[in-house]
């Protein structure tokens, strides 16, 4: 896969509610940001999770791992880079980088997903969606 073609970028501003008592972003918020990165990745390709669900397809998280590098703080502008690392049949894997306002690496992550189809069993996405994702 061409990494430039399979990478999307979006920015967000850290909200006060996302920080802990020390003014640092709480570790749980990163998975929410990376989920938004996946959604934005699809939107940039003209696809929406809600369309998948209306058609009876669910892309469920099977595994998630996050590595924290540097703290993010209230009002920091964070860039989320989302890359489709692998796509094979009913399996998708994404990697992520969260970059701080000065470009420093804040966190990295990987998520693995299984596609569940209308019959409630693992299956591949329709080929027309796969073509748009790739």
- How do the domains of the chain map onto residue ranges? 7-133
Instruction: Report, as an integer, the average pLDDT of 106-129.
Output: 96
Token pair for residue 41? 């990745």
Mind listing the pLDDT tens digit for each residue in 62-86?
999 999 999 999 999 999 999 999 9
| 123's tokens | 């299956």
Residue 3 has pLDDT above 80, yes or no: no
C-alpha 86/C-alpha 6 separation (Å) is 10
What is the spatial distance between Cα 40 and Cα 86, in angstroms, rounded to a whole number?
A: 17
Query: Strands (DSSP E) along 1-134, which ranges?
Result: 7-13, 58-68, 77-88, 91-99, 105-116
Residue 9: pLDDT over 70:
yes
Q: Is the pLDDT of residue 90 over 70?
A: yes
Q: What is the pLDDT of residue 1?
A: 55
The answer on pLDDT for 120 being more than 70 is yes
Residue 98 main-chain phi, psi, to 5 deg: -105, 120
**Mean pLDDT of all residues belonging to the chain:** 94
- In the numeric block, which tokens belong to residue 9? 């970028």
Whose tokens are 């992550």? That residue is 109
Confidence of residue 6 (pLDDT cuts 50, 70, 90): confident
How much is the average pLDDT of 9-29? Answer: 96
Q: How far from 68 is each of 27, 79, 93, 107, 127, CA to CA, in Å?
A: 8, 15, 19, 4, 36
pLDDT tens digits along 39-52 = 999 999 999 999 99
Counting residues of the chain whose pLDDT is more than 90, the rounded percentage is 92
Q: Please identify which residue in the block is written with the tokens 């509610």.
A: 17
CATH code reported for the domain at 7-133 = 3.10.129.10
pLDDT attached to residue 4 = 61
Report, as residue numbers or ranges, the catalytic residues: 20
Mean pLDDT of 1-29: 89
Q: Which two tokens stand for residue 126?
A: 């329709």
């Amino acid at each position: 896969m061409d990494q430039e073609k399979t990478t999307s970028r979006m920015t967000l501003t850290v909200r006060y509610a996302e920080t802990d008592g020390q003014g640092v972003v709480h570790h749980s918020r990163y998975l929410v940001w990376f989920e938004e990165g996946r959604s934005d990745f699809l939107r940039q390709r003209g696809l929406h999770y809600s369309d998948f669900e209306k058609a009876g397809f669910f892309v469920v998280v099977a595994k998630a791992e996050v590595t924290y590098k540097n703290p993010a703080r209230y009002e920091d502008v964070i860039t989320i880079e989302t890359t489709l690392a692998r796509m094979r049949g009913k399996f998708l894997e994404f990697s992520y980088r969260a970059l701080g306002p000065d470009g420093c690496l804040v966190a990295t992550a990987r998520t693995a997903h299984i596609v569940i189809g209308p019959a409630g069993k693992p299956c591949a996405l329709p080929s027309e969606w796969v073509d748009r994702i790739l």
